[in-house]
Each structure stands twice: as C-alpha cells, then as structure tokens.
Structure 1
Amino acid sequence: MLQLYQEGSELPQIVTFCKALDTLLGGGIPLQAITEVSGVPGVGKTQVCLQACVSVQLPRSVGGVGGEAVYLDTEGSFTVKRLKDMAACAVHHVGTIGGVAEDISCFTIESIMKGVHYFRCQNCVEVLAVIKNIPKLMLAHPNIRLLVVDSVSFHFRHDFPDARDRAKLLRSITKELIQPAVTHKMAVLVTNHMTTHVKEKGSATLVPALGETWGHCPTLRLNLSWCGPTRVATLTKAPHCQNSSAYFQVSVGGLRDISDNTQPSTAGILQHDSPHHEPLTKKRRIIESNNR
C-alpha cells in the first residue's frame, strides 16, 4: 500500500486552467482513471474535452504531463478552431511563466495540433474498433496520455433496445478503457448525456444516461449545470474528495475561473457536506489569472 500511495502521489494531473475546477478534482483530471463529464447540451462538456487535449501537452518543466491525446468524436462536435484558440492561449501563458531557464521551444500551436489524434466515429462499431486498437496506436505514439470519448452515450443509447445487452457491452468497454489507462498511465475522459428519470408520484429529475450499470464504471463523475447564467461543475462521485461544486466559465482561451463581480458566491468551491473540507491538491506552477 505504501508503494501504491507513493506511485500515485508522484503522478501528475491534467490541469484545466480553472483553479476552482482543479481544486474540485483534487488537482486536475487524474491519470489511471476514468472521468465522466455529464450535462445538458451547451453547458460545456466538449469544451472540457478540448481544454484537456491542450492541457495534457503542457511541458513537464512547468508541471504538465507532456503527453498527447486521442479524441473519439461520436457527435461531430469537435471544432478545430476552438482547439487552436485554446492552444494559442496556452502557448502564450506558458511563455510568460516559463522563464529563460525553461525549455519550452517545442510547445507551439503546431505541436499541440499534431498531438491530438482525431477519430470520427459514425457508429458504436467504430467506437469499439478505436478503443480496442488503442494499444496498437500507442506503439506508434507512446506518449499518449489522454483518451477522450465525446460522447460515450450518443450511439449506445439508441443502437441497443435491450438494456441488458447494452450493459454487458458497456462493462466490456470499461475493461478496454481502464487497462491502457493503468498500464500506460493515461487519463480517460468521457462525456455523457442527461436523461429524465421518473420517480414515484410523477416527479422527475435529470440524471446521466446509460443507467446505473454504467454509473459504477467511471472513477469520477462530474456533472455540469447552469446556475442562472453561470456554469457550475458538481462532483458527484470521487474516491478522494467529498462531493462539492465549483463555478467556472468558458472563455475564448478555454476554461477559466469566473470574475468576482459575476461569481454567485463568495467562494469558488461550494462544499456540500462539510464547510471545513478542502480536497487535497498538488502544488503546481501553472496558475492562470481570472478571465485571461
């Protein structure tokens, strides 16, 4: 257990450039784990994925992972221009904090674009094919540290009328995802849709799709929602942090903390259980100013 603890504490995490969101996640998106991001359309799920594709390539000299990303696009929501905008802001920021002693010459917009391996999956068969061939892809690109599936529910919600067949396949996919994540120290980031769950006496609520069977598969579950005009990220499942929420915004350069004059609360993190609890975070040199 001591060895596992030491190995886990030495692993870097993928920052989001939003301090409140990184604090909520315990330092950022973790490696060797499956992180699910769910929410209604337009709340920012794909923006989180694009930001992660840029952030995973941050140089190790400034506290980053220094890896590459694989992006499985099932909905056609991937936008190259958004990725380029986020990359430009990340390159500018690293240039301002790197200093003359740090070698950041290889961190450019072009290198970031080359470091994202994109697959457009038209059906669940193509999704399975890409996931199963990740180990082969890593033979040619051993520096891959992030796998994004946006979204995991798009094809599987409608192509499988039998819920039992779908649950069986989703368990198989989970094994295919977690194996390279643990073996190669990767992060797996998936997005999920919301669906209506009807309770007793006719009441209903929005919950992540794919049912309770899939709910056990992700290591972390992050739900994005709206609080008026402000985006809120709520951590609903995590082995290392209490359930809590954080405000964030999507700017031209990507995910950022919201400014004090637009923040609905005096604190970026809202604790649901204990007001004295603060998730453990790792010290990082990447600190982005608000609204940058």
Structure 2
Amino acid sequence: MESLTYLVKEPKDARLKSVMRSIICESVFDIFALFEVLHQLEVSLLNDKVNNGGSKVCLLVIDSISSLLAPIIGGKYPQGRSMMISVAVILKKLADEHNLSVLVTNHMVSAGNGAVKPALGESWKAVPHVRLMLSHECQNNICTATVLKHTLMASGRTAKFAAPS
C-alpha cells in the first residue's frame, strides 16, 4: 500500500515520464522488418521467462498492420497471403504463450459504392478474437466503437465517447 500512496503523491509529469520509459517504440516500414521485430520480441520474452519468471511486457500495438500487409497481398509477392497468415500465427502465439494482449489497427478503404471496408478484406477478418470499428463524427468530438466480433458480446453493440482534444 505504501507504493500506491507514493504514486498518488508523485507529480503528474513524473508519472508520465515513468510510464513513457516503459514504452518501446519500433518503426517498421515493411513486412520483413515486422518479422524481425516480432522475432526479437519473442526472444526477449523467452529470456524474461527463463531469467525472471515472467515478462513485464503486457501489450503489443501494431499501427497499422494494413500498411505493412497491403503492399504484399496481390502485389509482386505471390506468397503475400501466406505471409499475412504467418504474421497472424506469430501474434497469436506471442499472445497465448506470454499472456500478452495484441492490438492491431487495420485502416478502412472505399468499397466503391460509398461504403467502406477493412483494408485487408475478408482474409484478415477471421484472425482477431475481437474486432471493433471506431468511427469519428466530423461535426463534433464524439467517437463510436462498434463491436463487429467478440466471444462474449453481441455484434452490433456500440459505445459513444468523447475524443481527447
């Protein structure tokens, strides 16, 4: 309880700096660099498990998976779809074996009829356990999260929230 009291009394900017020190950011510009970073993460997590009994890593964020995968799907790489599935398998393995949450963004693109669709299309749809669609109303600061797929919630449920300014 002592450490909790300390955190509450700690100045806001010191808490922010403490949190930011625990974030590792890797810039990845192609699928091959993503494979390398995921491999390095797996090695690090395995070392943490052996040496420390567990990992301090609890969240992996990939923003945006579609910018890395779209160029290889249907493009000059005939094995693009299998590379996409390989990424999915690695992410699920990391999540399962290391109790790690994985958050992946997939941009929306025009469906041609005025509607929008996920950039990675039907191929990626089955990969995540939970799929949410986030939208922002242009005229105000309100965002909507819609459940598209969830094991414990009905599809179509929505929640509105104010976007941070």
Query: Secondary structure of 1:168's match?
Result: helix
Q: Identify the match of residue 26 of structure 2 among 119, 124, 146.
A: 119
What CA deviation, in whole Å up to 9, does each residue of 1:251-291 have, x standing for no partner?
A: 25xxxxxxxxxxxxxxxxxxxxxxxxxxxxxxxxxxxxxxx
Question: For residues 101-146 of structure 1, what are the alpha-carbon distances to aligned partners after superposition, in whole Å with 9 as ceiling and x for unaligned?
Answer: 4522368223211110110112221111111222212225821010
Structure 2 residue 3 is matched with structure 1 residue 103: yes
Alignment of 1:186 with 2:100, yes or no, is yes
**Could you tell me how far apart the structure 1 residues matched to 2:72 and 2:91 are?**
20
Looking at structure 2, the residues matched to 183 and 158 of structure 1 have their Cα atoms a distance apart, in angstroms, of 29
> Which of residues 144, 147, 152 is equivalent to 1:240?
152
**What is the DSSP-based 3-state SS (H/G/I as helix, E as strand, rest coil) of the residue aligned with 2:132?**
strand
Segments of 5+ residues of structure 1 without an aligned counterpart are 1-100, 253-292
More strand per residue: 1
Distance 2:2 2:146 in 1: 36
Q: Does residue 1:224 correspond to 2:117, yes or no?
A: no
- Is 1:176 equivalent to 2:90 in the alignment? yes
**1: distance between equivalents of 2:101 and 2:124?**
18
What secondary structure does 2:71 align onto?
coil
The reply to whether residue 148 of structure 1 matches residue 48 of structure 2 is no
Residue in structure 2 matched with residue 135 of structure 1 by the alignment: 42
Give 3-state SS (helix, strand or coil) of 1:118's partner.
coil
The ranges of structure 1 where at least 4 consecutive aligned residues each deviate by more than 3 angstroms after the TM superposition are none
| CA displacement, residues 132-167 of structure 1 (integer Å, 9 cap, x when unaligned) | 222212225821010000110112212441686222
TM-score (norm 1): 0.47
TM-score of the pair, normalised by structure 2: 0.79
The AA in structure 2 aligned to 1:250 is A
Q: Whose helix fraction is larger, Structure 1's or Structure 2's?
A: 2
Letter in 1 for 2:3: D
Letter of the 1:232 partner, please give it: T
Deviation at 1:204, TM superposition (A): 4.4
CA distance in 2, matches of 1:196, 1:207: 6
The 3-state SS of whatever aligns with 1:109 is: helix
User: What amino acid is aligned across from residue 173 of structure 1 in structure 2?
Assistant: V
